[in-house]
Amino acid sequence: MFLKVSETAQYISDKIKNQKPAVAIILGSGLGELADEVENKIEINYTDIPNFHKTTVLGHAGRVVYGQINNVNVIVFQGRFHAYEGHPIEDVVLPIRVIAKLGCRDVIITNASGGINTDYSPGELVCITDHINMTGMNPLIGKNDEEDGPRFPDMTEAYSRSLLEIVNKAAEIEDIKLASGVYAGLLGPTYETPAEIKMLSVLGADLVGMSTVPEVIAANHIGLNVLAISCVTNMAAGISKEKLSHEDVKIVAHKAIKKFKTLILKTVELIGN
């Protein structure tokens, strides 16, 4: 893994002329348009990057975009890898480890999710404050390198309190409603059954999805500050009577993209300042 991370980070560093990103952003399903806001762009296709995979999920463009947002150096990952695609868990979190290797300390992770909390509605933005790992997987299983992080990393503040304060300030400035909640991460690729959603609700979950949790675990292991923003694209199974489809997820995410971009742009500006 050390060799893979080093090789991948060196390739990207060469492409971006050894510049150092201040903020990294991972974009979830239907949220890739944010990369259009990056100025002075340098684009790299995932298929050209050593040890990266081609994205197979609709709504994930599969590009790294480097440049500036509000004069802040950013590196944006348009799409992610999922364990349900058949990728080893260490490859799912490879971009996180590369982000750290590039010298970046703050990462914004985004996703599309199903709403369990009935106070939510489709198109709403939610700041993740904690998570429940229901994937049955952990990216830290195996030999631990103490240079990367401790054998047993603390997850009390998996989501940075200081970044939570910043994103809430950004939402206030831009007059954007921003809820907060606990995210349950499942393996997928099937959507959850109504019984599973009922169980997750009892456990304290407000949102459910098939990503983010492994990335957050890896990020905490190597000392990154994590902010996670979820776009509720549908109400979870059993909450509403509608059947779930990935196409609908993309449609709702697209409708929410304007306020999503506004929120992230202001947040990046505040982090950079």
Catalytic residue status for 1: no
Catalytic residue status for 254: no
Structure-token pair, residue 102? 């590039």
Catalytic residue status for 53: no
Catalytically annotated residue among 33, 43, 61, 84: 84
Catalytically annotated residue among 174, 240, 246, 269: 246
| Residues sharing a CB contact under 8 Å with residue 14, sequence separation 6 or more, in sequence order | none
Catalytically annotated residue among 22, 29, 46, 113: 29
DSSP state letter for 84: G
Catalytic residue status for 246: yes
Catalytic residue status for 137: no
Catalytically annotated residue among 73, 111, 234, 254: 234
Catalytically annotated residue among 73, 111, 113, 211: 211
Structure-token pair, residue 259? 């306020």
Catalytic residue status for 236: no
Catalytically annotated residue among 210, 235, 236, 253: 210
Report CA torsion sign: 161, 232, 105, 221: positive
Catalytic residue status for 82: yes
Catalytic residue status for 155: no
Catalytically annotated residue among 11, 46, 82, 228: 82
Axis crossing angle, helix 213-221 with helix 94-101, rounded to the nearest 10: 30
H or E segment to which residue 232 belongs: strand 225-235
Please state, as a whole number, how many other Cβ atoms lie within 10 Å of the Cβ of residue 214: 24
Catalytically annotated residue among 9, 22, 24, 112: 112
Q: Which of 165, 155, 93 is nearest to 127 (CA)?
A: 165
Give the catalytic positions in this structure.
29, 60, 82, 84-85, 112, 210-211, 234, 246
